Structure 1
């Protein structure tokens, strides 16, 4: 599925500049003029595509989410092992550690987003609900395939998965008070912790191959919602 900005490179350039400036200066300080200057175009050209500053930066957030979700679905379609929660989260963690823009925007850094976090509540709140439904279906399909630990229902698996993942992402901000581990070591630890908590040892390959297309499709369905929200804001 092609991203909605593919036909218009200028829009992509504006969003690239807006994302970089948002992380560098924070929402309150960045202006449309700053974005236009960084993108090498006129301020009026930015307003040809985005009705307001809020619309521009909400689109930045949606593009980050879209790119992450699409790559995740692609990995699942290419390798059924990627639907294992431990592998899903390891890949996402590595992606966020390698890309500071995606990491800070995806995690909703309040110092960066400022008032935008409040303005985005409806749009991103709806996205969060839809994303959680996709993860719920992800766990249900794994349970149906016999890939979750015996006696662990999908709701409990989801709770454990969310708690472990959120904890690992949050604790990175406390790294000065914790043992220093490099990114690969942290990713290894995250993967092993999730696997030990919710997955059967050596999940059957045949079961993963059977459920992977359905799980990948649940995340691709999110792209349809994101594209709809995108087109509401980009002219």
Structure 2
């Protein structure tokens, strides 16, 4: 799996072809599903030779893993950016609010979280993601973030299962809102989730401004480093002209 170095041929750069390939693949996965997303169809819709795609990815699953890693990195970078701008996100209730929102902003990340093999196929079980479905407490940067809170006596690790249950319940209900008859919009549901997490898992005493600032700084570092580490998994390979 890879993102690709730039090289110009025939008026279209390697990066252009890679972006086109990835955009088309993401669209096909979300519209048609894993089984109907073939390399032939990707090449046809992207107007790129199939052989060219194989210069960058050995298999369809490698291409899908690249897309998932990009979305995971995007989630981490967004949390880091938000925590930098709004230190209150260092609080567990606020960070879970953002996670809820990001699950619905990044559809392939959501598919990984919900173990949706109809969309991701084998990628759902890829151990390199180190991610268990419906369990954000196994998501490496979130786990490190919870460890930071534990060090400040702001989180009890014994509450991990309960936190995962609350998060997954809110996300499932939002996914199936029409069936469940839920009427609140996404923002209101995110607010409800934050309120439940605040009352259930956060200590009653509010963090002093200095400690909150330090927690926010560490939150930024944790998720910024995670984004960089995920991007480092994307091996850069040369991409030849379309064949």
Provide the TM-score with structure 1 as the length reference.
0.80
Distance 1:53 1:170 in 2: 28
Distance 2:167 2:56 in 1: 36
Matched, 1:170 2:175: no
Distance 1:83 1:71 in 2: 13
How many aligned residue pairs are there?
Answer: 226
Equivalent in the alignment of 1:188 = 191
Equivalent in the alignment of 1:52 = 59
Question: Which of the numbers 200, 224, 239 marks the counterpart of 1:220?
Answer: 224
How far 1:73 moved relative to its partner?
1.4
How far 1:207 moved relative to its partner?
1.0
Root mean square deviation, CA, Å? 3.1
Helix, strand or coil at the partner of 2:130: helix
Helix, strand or coil at the partner of 2:235: helix
* Unpaired segments ≥5 residues, structure 1: none
Distance 2:108 2:121 in 1: 15
The 4+ residue runs of structure 1 with deviation greater than 6 A are 126-130, 232-235
Equivalent in the alignment of 1:97 = 104
More helix by share: 1
* Unpaired segments ≥5 residues, structure 2: 7-14
C-alpha contact (below 8 Å) 1:36/1:43 kept by paired residues: yes
Return closer, same or farther for 1:195/1:171 CA change in 2, 3 Å cut-off: same
Distance 1:59 1:234 in 2: 16
C-alpha contact (below 8 Å) 2:108/2:120 kept by paired residues: no
Provide the TM-score with structure 2 as the length reference.
0.78
1:95-134 superposed matches below 5 A: 95-100=102-107, 102-118=109-125, 121-125=126-130, 132-134=139-141
The structure with the larger Rg is 2
Distance 2:51 2:26 in 1: 19
How far 1:217 moved relative to its partner?
1.8
